[in-house]
Copies of this chain bind each other. A is one copy, B any other.
Amino acid sequence: MSPAPAHPLEEARIRVLAAADDRFYECGVAAVTVAEIRDTAGVSLRRLYGLFPTKADLVAAWLRDRHTTWLAWFANAVGEHIRAGSHPTDAVFDAVGDWLASTDFRGCAFLNTLAETASLTEEHRAIIAAHKGALADTLTDFAADPDAVAVLLDGAIVRSAALRSPEPIEAALRAARQLAPLTGAP
């Protein structure tokens, strides 16, 4: 059904990145060993190191991959809520609210990784900053003050992780509804 992978190498790369996303997000970068990624991906250590010469390289590739994937998921989820009748600003919070309520929610992967200062490279920091910038950019289509909505979203995400409850998204939505509306929106 899916297009055949160009190379066995490409296929291994995809499996490794999927394993990295699974393990790194659930347990944090520092807590996951390269051996665990190898086992989850079902590739040999040799191939893993051939694809990503160091663990830091793998982390960077994972962050880049998740940056793309998460924003795509987000745009799609917001679109679905809008199509289901939500006001654009509300839809943004509905989408994130769905995520917060999912059982495998573990906070924002980028903020979590940023907090693991131990082995973070400058490249990692740049990817994380770019992701948070891109989130605000995405919101330009849905809110009059995208930076303010981004603050509400990230605040709800981290407080939800800390308090272990999806409740903060409701406080965030209450606040968002009092913000100046998007001019010219339907």
Chain A positions within 8 Å of B, measured between CB atoms, are: 27-28, 30-31, 106-108, 110-119, 125, 128-129, 131-133, 145, 147-148, 150-156, 158-159, 161-164, 167-168, 171-172, 174-175, 178-180
Contact = CB atoms under 8 A, between A and B. Distances in A.
A175 B164 contact: no
Q: How many copies does the complex hold?
A: 2
Given A150-B171, A151-B172, A163 B118 contact: no
A159 B128 CA distance: 10
Contacts of A113: 115
14 contacts: A28-B115, A108-B158, A111-B162, A113-B115, A115-B115, A125-B164, A129-B164, A147-B167, A148-B172, A151-B152, A151-B156, A151-B171, A154-B154, A155-B155
Given A154-B155, A163-B129, A163-B132, A115 B116 contact: yes
Name A's interface SS.
helix
Given A152-B155, A171-B150, A162 B128 contact: yes
A152 to B, nearest CB: 6
Contacts of A167: 147
Contact of A162 (B110, B175, B180): B110
A153 B155 contact: yes
B158 A175 contact: no
A182 to B, nearest CB: 14
A129 B162 contact: yes
A137 to B, nearest CB: 12
